[in-house]
């Protein structure tokens, strides 16, 4: 952490906040605003940290937004991100050498691979210089943040969670939010599809307690590796060795059999009793919505060890864009070669941050035969964490660059017809709230690898069209048409919902000559002039099996919050939003530097 701070200072990528700020809302709110600046703002080092509620001052600083820009990501990786992908591609396509010089070259490559394997040490680590064992282990010694007013309590947000299988033959490093219940109990939010949850099932069946060690800090790459979507049973620290060309140096925890990197700043050790579950949450998550209360396993803390002068690493999640945008970019680039092993003709893919990752993916492919894109859809929806993706758009090799959103959207809309749609059902991320039941829901694939010939609509002006819409749909409040120059303009209609949106869509049939794609959103909390946040809202709120309607060439999407009109019986979560009094205080202290235009755009 100290080397990271020195590097960030040298590169003018660090903002130091010496003003006294609280772990309750104030610090995370400022970090939330910082990353929304152009180019991700700067990393933040909070040096004057307090817990006002408990009249406590912390000695250690808090570091946030460390990955929060493309530049900082590459600084922390120590080299261009694409070079890591190239190296993985080379390994995957390694062939027997045909001559002496090729043998020499391969020998060099293979020799370098020896450094990817973690190395276990027989000594005490720097992370164990200070030790609190048994009842002396107190989570309240750590400056754990409460990010949002609606959160169920403080949460560790950048914990490296080390676990192992029942037999100890497989180890896993994951990153899950961890709720602090009291001085020695942590909530383990490992979702049902995660490797740690699979290990937990093994301990539960055997009736044995499960060891867990949670590390915080150290080289930031440990934290990124914890998020990497590797296959089940593969140790994520292998990636650390591949990237740095140095093995991760591990020491054994003091009270569990698990090994952790010797240079992390904190280690929280403990045991999970598989017979005990406790309500975890709510938590304002990376979807931009609160995830609701649910039972999860609990870890009883048996030890906390630290460096002599630790630095506490944390992140903040909520509405995009956030630090996970940049961490996700690194993952996207590095894992492209591995995804290509299942989808050989994949050329590129991209997850826009306002699609909240699992909610929207764009993919470019080499199309070889009829139905090829639909085959790819099944490959994506059956591949590891890609299986959680809800909406996927597949394009041919002639499509614009996937990050050139304006040109790409034009390309998609000029090739689209309702025939492009493919709807199925599959697993969903546990954080998804849109489906009528948890963990399973609609999937939407859009195949625009081939152009469909169609005429555009008879366009009307926004005011004239809204007047006609209101005659048929009295609950309509506002209307904006986007991409009018394309064959499939997108009409966004805000409504005050009094019935199902399907009924609203049906009411517009006589306007079919004037409409192509119609998106319905609630009037409340939506600015229909803000396409960035509309994409975030709609991608979050849609279940394709329920919320997609077709009439001729007209397609409807229901991006509203669901309720009894839709036969939705689950609890609909609230938006993640900053507390106005905290923002006002940070502004009065001269710390809040976010421009009002960005504050409005990102709906803080």
Average pLDDT, the chain: 93
- Mean pLDDT score, 540-557: 96
pLDDT score of 191 more than 80: no
- Locate tokens 């697993």: which residue? 427
pLDDT above 60: residue 101: no
Q: How confident is the model at residue 344 (pLDDT cuts 50, 70, 90)?
A: confident
Instruction: Give the Cα separation of 582 and 591 in Å (integer).
Output: 11
Mean pLDDT of 208-212: 96
Whether pLDDT at 92 is above 90? no
Judged against a pLDDT cut of 90, whether residue 200 lies above it is answered with: no
Amino acid 475: pLDDT: 96
> What does the block give as tokens for 447?
């195949």
pLDDT exceeds cutoff 90 at 347: yes
Mean pLDDT, residues 38-49? 96
Q: Is the predicted pLDDT of residue 60 greater than 90, yes or no? A: yes
- What gap in Å lies between CA 211 and CA 258, rounded to an integer? 7
pLDDT at residue number 96 = 63
- Give residue 107's pLDDT band: very low, low, confident or very high (50, 70, 90): low
Residue 47's pLDDT band, with cuts at 50, 70 and 90, is: very high
Distances (CA, A) of 403 to 36, 351, 399, 408, 593: 18, 9, 11, 8, 28
Backbone angles phi, psi at 253, to 5 degrees: -60, 160
Higher pLDDT, 119 or 108: 119
pLDDT, average across residues 383-395: 89
Q: Tell me the pairing of strands 43-46 and 14-17.
A: parallel
DSSP codes of every residue in 167-196: TSS-EEEE---EEEEETTEEEE---TTSHH
What single-letter DSSP state applies at residue 369? Answer: S
Check residue 109 and give its pLDDT: 58
Q: What is the pLDDT of residue 112?
A: 62
Q: How confident is the model at residue 342 (pLDDT cuts 50, 70, 90)?
A: confident
Distance separating alpha carbons of residues 247 and 228, to the nearest angstrom: 17
Judged against a pLDDT cut of 90, whether residue 65 lies above it is answered with: yes
How does pLDDT run across 350-385, given as a tens digit for each residue? Answer: 999 999 888 999 999 999 998 899 988 888 888 778
Query: pLDDT digit string (tens) for 493-540?
Result: 999 999 999 999 999 999 999 999 999 999 999 999 999 999 999 999
Weakest-pLDDT range from 45-54, 73-82, 83-92, 285-294: 83-92
Angle between helices 26-34 and 580-588 (to 10 degrees): 80
Helix (H, G, I), strand (E, B) or coil at 259: strand
Q: What is the model's pLDDT at position 94? A: 52
Average pLDDT score over residue span 266-285: 95
Does pLDDT of 208 surpass 70? yes
Beta strands in 253-395 (DSSP E): 259-261, 266-280, 283-284, 290-291, 294-306, 312-314, 346-350, 361-365, 391-395
Separation between Cα atoms, residue 539 and residue 554, nearest integer Å: 19
Cα 442–chain centre separation: 20
**Percentage with pLDDT > 70 across the chain:** 96
150: confidence class by pLDDT, cuts 50, 70, 90: very high
Set out the domains of the chain in order of their start, with CATH numbers: 117-314 (2.30.110.10), 323-448 (3.40.1670.10), 462-566 (3.40.1670.10)
**Can you give the pLDDT at residue 99?**
63
- Residues 285, 431 contacting (CB under 8 angstroms): yes
Return the pLDDT at 102. Answer: 55
Question: How confident is the model at residue 452, as a pLDDT?
Answer: 82
- In the prediction, which pLDDT does 588 show? 97
Q: How far is it, in rounded angstroms, from Cα 466 to Cα 493?
A: 8
How far is C-alpha 402 from the chain's CA centre? 19
pLDDT tens for each residue of 555-604: 999 999 999 999 999 999 999 999 999 999 999 999 999 999 999 999 99
CA distances from 136 to 141, 221, 225, 273, 601 (A): 10, 30, 31, 20, 47
Q: Compute the distance between CA of residue 221 and CA of residue 378 in angstroms, rounded to an integer.
A: 32
148-152, 229-233, 399-403: which range is least confident on average?
229-233
Q: Average pLDDT of 235-261?
A: 94
**Residues with Cβ within 8 Å of residue 410, at least 6 apart in sequence:** 483, 485, 486
Angle at 426 between CA 422 and CA 432, to 5 degrees: 105
- Tell me how far the alpha carbon of residue 92 is from its chain's centroid: 27
In this structure, the strands spanning 294-306 and 266-280 are: antiparallel
């Amino acid at each position: 952490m100290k080397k990271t701070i020195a590097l960030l200072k040298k590169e003018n990528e660090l903002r130091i906040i010496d003003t006294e700020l609280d772990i309750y809302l104030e610090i995370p709110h400022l970090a939330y605003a910082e990353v929304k600046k152009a180019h991700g703002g700067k990393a933040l080092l909070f040096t004057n940290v307090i817990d006002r509620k408990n009249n406590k001052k912390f000695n250690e600083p808090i570091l946030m937004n460390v990955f929060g820009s493309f530049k900082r990501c590459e600084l922390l990786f120590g080299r261009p991100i694409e070079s890591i992908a190239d190296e993985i591609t080379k390994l995957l396509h390694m062939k027997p050498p045909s001559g002496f010089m090729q043998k020499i070259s391969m020998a060099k490559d293979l020799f370098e691979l020896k450094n990817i394997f973690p190395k276990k040490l027989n000594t005490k680590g720097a992370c164990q210089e200070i030790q609190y064992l048994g009842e002396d282990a107190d989570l309240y010694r750590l400056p754990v943040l409460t990010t949002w007013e609606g959160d169920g309590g403080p949460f560790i947000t950048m914990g490296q969670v080390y676990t192992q299988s029942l037999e100890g033959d497989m180890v896993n490093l994951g990153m899950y939010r961890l709720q602090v219940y009291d001085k020695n109990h942590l909530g383990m939010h490992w979702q049902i599809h995660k490797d740690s949850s699979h290990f937990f099932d093994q301990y539960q069946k055997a009736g044995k307690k499960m060891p867990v060690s949670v590390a915080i800090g150290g080289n930031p790459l440990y934290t990124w590796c914890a998020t990497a979507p590797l296959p089940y049973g593969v140790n994520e620290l292998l990636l650390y060795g591949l990237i740095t060309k140095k093995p991760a140096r591990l020491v054994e925890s003091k009270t569990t059999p698990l090994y952790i990197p010797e240079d992390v700043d904190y280690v929280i050790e403990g045991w999970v009793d598989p017979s005990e579950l406790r309500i975890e949450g709510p938590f304002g998550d990376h979807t931009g919505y609160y995830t609701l209360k649910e039972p999860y396993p609990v870890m009883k803390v048996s030890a906390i060890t630290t460096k002599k002068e630790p630095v506490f690493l944390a992140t903040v999640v909520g509405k995009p864009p956030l630090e996970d945008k940049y961490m996700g970019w690194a993952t996207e680039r590095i894992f492209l070669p591995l995804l290509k092993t299942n989808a050989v003709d994949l050329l590129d893919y991209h997850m826009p941050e306002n699609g909240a990752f699992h909610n929207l993916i764009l993919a470019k492919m080499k199309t070889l035969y009829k139905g090829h894109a639909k085959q790819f859809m099944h490959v994506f929806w059956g591949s590891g964490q890609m299986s959680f993706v809800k909406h996927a758009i597949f394009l041919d090799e002639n499509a614009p660059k996937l990050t050139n959103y304006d040109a790409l959207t034009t390309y998609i809309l000029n090739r689209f017809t309702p025939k492009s749609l493919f709807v199925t059902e599959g697993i969903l991320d546990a954080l998804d709230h849109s489906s009528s039941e948890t963990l399973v829901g609609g999937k939407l694939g859009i195949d625009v690898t081939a152009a469909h010939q169609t005429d555009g609509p008879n366009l009307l002006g926004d005011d004239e069209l809204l007047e006609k819409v209101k005659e048929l749909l009295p609950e309509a409040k506002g209307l904006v048409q986007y991409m009018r120059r394309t064959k499939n303009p997108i009409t966004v209609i805000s409504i005050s919902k009094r019935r199902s949106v399907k009924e609203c869509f049906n009411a517009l049939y006589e306007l079919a000559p004037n409409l192509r794609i119609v998106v319905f959103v609630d009037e409340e909390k939506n600015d229909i002039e803000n396409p960035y946040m509309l994409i975030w809202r709609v991608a979050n709120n849609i279940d394709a099996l329920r919320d997609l309607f077709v009439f001729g060439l007209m397609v409807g999407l229901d991006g509203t919050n669901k309720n009894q009109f839709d036969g939705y019986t689950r609890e609909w979560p609230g938006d993640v939003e900053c507390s106005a009094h905290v923002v006002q205080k940070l502004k009065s202290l001269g710390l809040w530097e976010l421009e009002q235009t960005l504050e409005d755009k990102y709906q803080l």
